[in-house]
């Protein structure tokens, strides 16, 4: 046993010598320059109308094109970005690219809307967010009403979130509460913030058929939303069975691998072309 442990130690020692740094350490080191070099880019996931099945919107999701490791997902680098206080820099890039894509789709005749994710750190540190976003939509000739800002319950708990959300609403942007059901926010937040949509987290959709309880829970969320006049999107829809249930209880929009994975802006437009003829 001692021998086996010894061998593992040798292994670990040798690995740390050859690799020099762990992957996370390297990402931490490379992130600032990656942002300024334009290695961040945006992919778009289809969101469909639950009644008609038509593509109505797309969510912008950030990716990092790493020179050695290829496409990295936010799960791998957003925590590092937060530690380095670099979320605002990433958000600015994502906004620029995504608003430009929205404008291109609309110029081609597709009446899509765009969803953008904002992090808790943006609420704290990105003082010019509303000004930057307003300038971008004006420059690209799109309407703020066609841009929805997704905030998590965690973001809404930030001190600055209330002013930020109010300012966004005043400029005409829509507000969605993302990952609904996974945070610690109270229901009072739905009133205090001018949220017009909730997005049921995909962990609930995934559990729908594991236990009767989750069906009741999602029905209860729908009843709440109906009473409060909120629209509901379900995330992470993968199966026909999930879709049938969610449509039957009146969920407004569906998003998930069943309707498409996140793709480039031109590819998203091709998805749109397959759903509806350009005007």
Residues 209, 84: Cα–Cα separation, whole Å: 40
- Rounded CA gap, 69 and 71, in Å? 7
Q: How many residues bind ligand C2E (CB under 6 A)?
A: 25
Binding status of residue 178 toward ligand C2E by CB under 6 A = yes
The verdict on 153 binding Mg ion (CB under 5 A) reads no
| CA separation, residue 215 to residues 18, 50, 212, 222, 253 (Å) | 51, 18, 5, 11, 17
Q: In this complex, which beta carbon is closest to Mg ion, that of residue 30 or of residue 200?
A: 200
* 256 contacts ligand C2E (rule: CB under 6 A): yes
Residue 156 as a binder of ligand C2E (CB under 6 A): the answer is no
Q: Which of 224, 247, 257, 276 binds ligand C2E (CB under 6 A)?
A: 257
> Based on C-alpha coordinates, what's the Rg of the chain?
21
Q: Of 250, 216, 252, which Cα lies nearest the Cα of 232?
A: 252
In sequence order, the 6+-apart residues with CB closer than 8 A to the CB of 33 are none
Residue of 45, 101, 117, 252 that binds Mg ion (CB under 5 A): 117
In terms of CB distance, is 4 or 159 closer to ligand C2E? Answer: 159
Supply the minimum distance, in Å, between the C-beta of residue 116 and Mg ion: 8
The stretch among 6-14, 115-123, 133-141, 265-273 that binds ligand C2E (CB under 6 A) is 115-123
Contact 34, 66 (CB under 8 A): yes
Position 75 contacts ligand C2E (CB under 6 A): yes
Whether residue 63 contacts residue 264, with contact meaning beta carbons closer than 8 Å, is answered with: no
The residues that touch ligand C2E, with contacts defined as CB under 6 A, are: 45, 60-62, 73-75, 78, 91, 94, 117-119, 150, 178-179, 202, 235-238, 255-257, 262
């Amino acid at each position: 046993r001692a021998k086996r442990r010894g061998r593992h130690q040798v292994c670990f020692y040798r690995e740390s010598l050859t690799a020099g740094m762990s992957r996370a350490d390297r990402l931490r080191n490379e992130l600032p320059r990656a942002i300024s070099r334009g290695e961040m880019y945006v992919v778009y996931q289809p969101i469909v109308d639950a009644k008609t099945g038509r593509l109505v919107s797309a969510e912008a999701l950030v990716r990092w094109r790493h020179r050695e490791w290829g496409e990295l997902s936010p799960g791998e680098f957003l925590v590092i970005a937060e530690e380095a206080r670099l979320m605002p820099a990433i958000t600015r890039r994502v906004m620029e690219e995504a608003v430009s894509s929205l404008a291109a789709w609309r110029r081609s005749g597709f009446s899509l809307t765009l969803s953008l994710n904002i992090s808790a750190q943006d609420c704290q540190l990105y003082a010019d967010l509303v000004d930057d976003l307003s300038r971008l939509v004006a420059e690209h000739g799109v309407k703020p009403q066609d841009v929805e800002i997704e905030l998590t319950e965690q973001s809404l708990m930030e001190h600055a979130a209330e002013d930020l959300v109010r300012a966004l609403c005043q400029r005409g942007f829509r507000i969605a509460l993302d990952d609904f059901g996974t945070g610690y926010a109270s229901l009072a937040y739905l009133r205090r913030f001018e949220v017009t949509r909730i997005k049921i987290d995909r962990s609930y959709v995934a559990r729908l058929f594991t236990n009767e309880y989750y069906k009741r829970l999602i029905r209860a969320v729908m009843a709440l939303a109906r009473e409060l006049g909120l629209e509901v999107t379900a995330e992470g829809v993968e199966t026909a069975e999930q879709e049938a249930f969610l449509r039957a209880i009146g969920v407004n929009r569906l998003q998930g691998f069943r309707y498409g994975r996140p793709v480039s802006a031109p590819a998203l437009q091709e998805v749109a072309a397959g759903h509806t003829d350009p005007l």
